[in-house]
Amino acid sequence: MEPLYKLLRMAFSPEEGSFALDRKLSDSEWASVHSESLRHLVTAIAYRSINRLPKELRPSMELVFQWASEAETVKGHNELLNAEAARLAQLFEAQGRKTAVLKGAANARLYPDPFMRHAGDIDLWVEGGRKSVVALVKKMGYELDEKDEGSPHHIHIQGASKVPVEVHFRPSSGVFNPFARRRLLRYLENEILNTERVPEGFSVPSIKFALAMQLAHIQRHFFKGGVGLKQLVDYFVLLEHSTANDRREISAKLSRFGLKRLGAAVMWIMGEVFGLENDKMLVPPDAKLGKRMLAEVYESGNFGFNRVNAKDEHGMNFVVRWLGNRWKTIRLVPFSLSEVFWQEADYWRDFVRKIPLRIKYRRISIWDLYH
């Protein structure tokens, strides 16, 4: 993975030759780098660096052309999502609601090339709370998926050109620990009111909001399924654009938000992989936790969907799958005992809440409805 890390660092360096590869990679090594960039959804970022390499260090022309095509696809998808995010924001604002685009499109505009981030869906926060936002979405003619019944923070709608959209009535799903989550959400619900209108045609939250919300997002997905380099690149970009006051304020709150131990692991990765200076870190880095987290990141790929040597869980016996998922959670105790405990409590609460759905489909496991 080291050549890919070097390409990622180089993509964000203002100096042309900074962090360049120190040797020519073989065709098989380049094929591996390309494959890993796809698995972690950082293909267009790596391609930016390839264009900055001396010609003698670049991969074969055939691979360069393939990489260029993939980067162009990423650019087109970004343009589509930006336009749709602006359209949706204006639709909800016309209904008198304050809005903010979270994560994806808000992060992408901070990149040196705003079209090199691999876009996913649109996360749009809409003011008003669950009951009010759900009623408004229905009034606007959108159909809600039955899987969203009782969702505590967002619902899904289908945007134009089949762009997937999450409409958030809460600014974050938070952390699993309910006491830490309450403190985190109280902060985020106040901070999200400080939005900024950007040239792309929508509003974005403050960097302080993004630092807290997206670290919680990384932690939640790390415990539930996995995170990839894409999410960590986002966090590096946020830290690079943060002020000392932003970092000081969030750093002082990480323990109360239940994010300090994982935050220390993330800070080690920020320095080791991306070369972030220590004075831009939220907390002192923890090498032991950081190395373990980086190994998990490598294994999981993007949100755990592209795991190395992953087994097809769709054909797996549900008891085997269930036991495997319980073990995946338990082995993360070093990162946060309380998160592991409350995640399991959350799992059983969700199991009970979905009993009517299990009765409807006459099955114990409804895993395949969500995957």
C-beta atoms surrounding 102 within 10 Å: 25
Interval 89-122: pLDDT, tens: 999 999 999 999 999 999 999 999 999 999 989 9
Interval 269-324: pLDDT, tens: 999 999 999 999 999 999 999 999 999 999 877 766 555 554 555 556 666 766 66
pLDDT of residue 142: 87
Is 80 exceeded by the pLDDT of residue 359? no
- Domains of the chain, CATH where assigned: 1-59 (no CATH), 74-205 (3.30.460), 214-310 (no CATH), 311-371 (no CATH)
The Cα diameter of the chain in Å comes to 63
Rounded mean pLDDT of 5-27? 83
Sorting pLDDT into bands at 50, 70 and 90, what band is 1? confident
Residue 242 CA: distances (Å) to CA of 13, 105, 235, 247: 17, 17, 10, 7
Residues in Cβ contact with 13 at an 8 Å cutoff, skipping those fewer than 6 apart: 19
Is 80 exceeded by the pLDDT of residue 336? yes
- Percent of the chain's residues with pLDDT above 90: 69
How far is C-alpha 120 from the geometric centre of its chain's CA atoms?
Answer: 9
pLDDT of residue 189: 96
Interval 157-211: pLDDT, tens: 887 778 889 999 999 999 999 999 999 999 999 999 999 999 999 999 999 999 9
List the structure tokens of 292. 């373990």
